[in-house]
Chains A and B, each alone.
Chain A
Amino acid sequence: MSAISNSATPEPLLEVRDLVKHFPITKGLLNRTVGKVHAVDGVTFRIGRGETLGLVGESGSGKSTVARLVLRLLDPTSGQIHFAGTELTRQRPAELKRLRRKLQIIFQDPFSACDPRMTIAQVVTEPLEAHRISTGKAARRTAAELLERVGLAASDLDKYPHQFSGGQAQRIGIARALTTEPELLVCDEAVSALDVSVQAQVLNLLRELQGELGLAYLFIAHDLNVVRYISDRICVMYLGQFVEHGPADELLAEPQHPYTRSLAAAIASADPHRPPRWDRIMARGEAPSPSAPPSGCRFHPRCPAAFEPCTNKFPVESTMGERTVSCHLHDAAEVLSHD
């Protein structure tokens, strides 16, 4: 796939090129490799400083794998990840650890990785100690300041995770991520489990912090209304690949790829006068397994607009201003020259 050419700033904070991650499927006593899961299959994107890139797609599309690859929590099969001018995939562990300060992640359940017997002080100061930024009283002071910044109280430091509601827990997760002064925060379904009233509070907090600290976000979520609200640009992922990319409002208002059109049609609305979604969605059936992706365009078995080239030819990416789309409907003229 060709590079996504646009970006908010001339020098992007993060630049990912042709990223691939295949997981082997093993069988039997000898762990023979019998196949592979194409979790991420050649994605390219950039995030500028202070920018938010939304990543949407259904379960199994590879969104979370992209997040883990960017943080080098997983090793890519191939491809490059440039962060602040450094190639992450070639770094030694010590150098990688230094760079990781600038890259943080928040998850759907912020305490899933924490010992329930740790106090909030321990939870929040752990990254400070791991990165040898500060210890003891200094670390506690930083933690107290950050808790207050995210809308909690310094007195919460001596409480335990179970004493907090979902929204408060996510605030603690954000405070913990901010301890190392990151430049990029990956939000992997970070607001998805929250009640709507609380979800709005956390989204507002993320926007405030972005304005104050110049943070860039890679924002992964399945709720398109939420992604549109927070993102400058959106990438739509289907079975390990990007099918469409562009400015958030334009992309959802005028989706070009039939899959994006289905997703946009699936956006829930509390307006009782709007026709129900099932009258608008065109995608048929369910996504196939990423261990056996369809030939040609991966969306073709579900696509209402599929025609002959879709079943056997890979669609090339066409660019229209700030937008790109990978669909034979848009590159019918170019197919012959590219394939």
Chain B
Amino acid sequence: MWPNAEHEQTVPLLRVADLRVEFDTARGTVEAVNDIGFEVSAEQTVAIVGESGSGKSVTALAVLQLLDGGRIANGQIVWDGQDLSAVDKSRMRGIRGEDIAMIFQDPMTSLDPLYSIGDQIVEAIRLHRKISKTEARDRAVELLGQVGIPDARTRLRAYPHELSGGQRQRVMIAIALACAPRLLIADEPTTALDVTIEAQVLELIRDLQRQYQMALVLVTHDMGVVAEMADWVVVCYAGQVVEQGPAGKLLTDPQHPYTEALLTAIPTPETDKSQPLGAIGGAVPALHEMPPGCRFQPRCRHAWQDCTQPPPVVRLDGGRSSRCWLRAPAPTESRRAEPEQELA
């Protein structure tokens, strides 16, 4: 478990602790998530950041018990005081949509091309609320208006292919909001969108979050999105949380070499064009070839001999934590020494 000071006064809305998720494959059992834990309080925005294979999307699916072919091998997912692994299927269906809703990167895969968007929003509302079709349609019009689709009553008859990518994502947000959930999980919601549209959709999510008093779990690889949206950041690498902390501090003063390397690998408007980018050598290890000890150690420029042992999760000031030997208390002299060249 990864407690953090800010949350200790209140009971969190969502608590994920020591999560391990396994999938059976032809090559045997693999762990997509090895050790991920974080908390989300009411109305808070938590960003789960990582590259492909970090386990961030699997974690999001695990929260909703939507792991197709995977299983939660260890850990707890506690929603509003109840352990979701102990909840029966019909109760879980109620929690999904009503309490926790989710949107994905590609709305086209979530929308049915054969039904009008109006029918799909009405279906989502009536699945959870015993109201008439007319009332549900009125609510659908209201929702489409809230997500910024002009001329909502006419647009109810539109089919997904008639909408742009940005509008489809707005429709998905409308469906997610149908039952006014307390938590919205958004998995790369703007990755497929053009930059100016991305900004519009993020602003929309932020506005609706305030209006609906929702908590938001934002799964993303984009540090720019994190900087704009997140209160709290959870950085994942190879199925583990490597660092977490408040967004402002984590982005300006990272406490794990991976977070630090990620931030320097991204070109910014200030990046010196005459120098190579601060690339991280190598690639994220495959799930069945995890290095022993610290999973980032083969790519880490600070790696030294201790890193072949699993690093402790070190608690730092302000509720922050880092899974790194460098942050472990009372480091030896050799631990302080930084090797000159990259181990890649």
Contact = CB atoms under 8 A, between A and B. Distances in A.
A197 B221 CA distance: 11
Given A58-B194, A195-B221, A277-B199, A269 B227 contact: yes
Nearest to B344: A201
A168 B284 CA distance: 12
Contacts of A119: none
The 9 A-B residue pairs with the shortest CB-CB distance, nearest first, are A268-B224, A278-B203, A200-B279, A270-B223, A197-B280, A195-B51, A58-B194, A266-B195, A200-B277
B269 interface: yes
Given A201-B279, A268-B223, A276-B203, 18 more contacts: A58-B194, A58-B195, A59-B194, A196-B265, A197-B280, A200-B277, A208-B276, A228-B271, A229-B277, A249-B273, A268-B222, A268-B225, A272-B247, A273-B252, A278-B203, A281-B196, A286-B164, A286-B197
A224 B195 CA distance: 9
A142 interface: no
A332 to B, nearest CB: 25
Contacts of A270: 223-224, 226-227, 251, 263, 266, 268
Interface residues of A, number: 45
A179 B319 CA distance: 53
B194 A269 contact: no
B199 A269 contact: no
A198 interface: yes
A129 to B, nearest CB: 30
Given A195-B51, A197-B265, A168 B283 contact: yes
B26 to A, nearest CB: 13
A108 interface: no
B281 interface: yes
Contact of A229 (B263, B267, B284): B267
B271 A225 contact: yes
Chain B CB within 10 A, most for which of A207, A270, A273 = A270
B171 to A, nearest CB: 14
A28 to B, nearest CB: 19
- Interface of B, secondary structure class, is helix
Interface in B37-74: 51-52
Given A225-B269, A266-B199, A286-B164, A200 B227 contact: no
Contacts of B223: 196, 268, 270
Contacts of B123: none
B261 interface: yes
- Interface of A, secondary structure class, is helix
Nearest to A267: B269
Contacts of A272: 227, 247-248, 251-252
B278 interface: yes
Contacts of A95: none
Contacts of B196: 58, 262-263, 266, 281, 283
A140 interface: no
B311 interface: no
A59 B196 CA distance: 11
A281 B251 contact: no
A201 B273 contact: no
Contacts of A225: 266-269, 271
B202 interface: yes
12 contacts: A58-B196, A197-B261, A197-B265, A200-B278, A207-B276, A222-B195, A225-B271, A229-B271, A229-B277, A277-B198, A278-B206, A281-B196
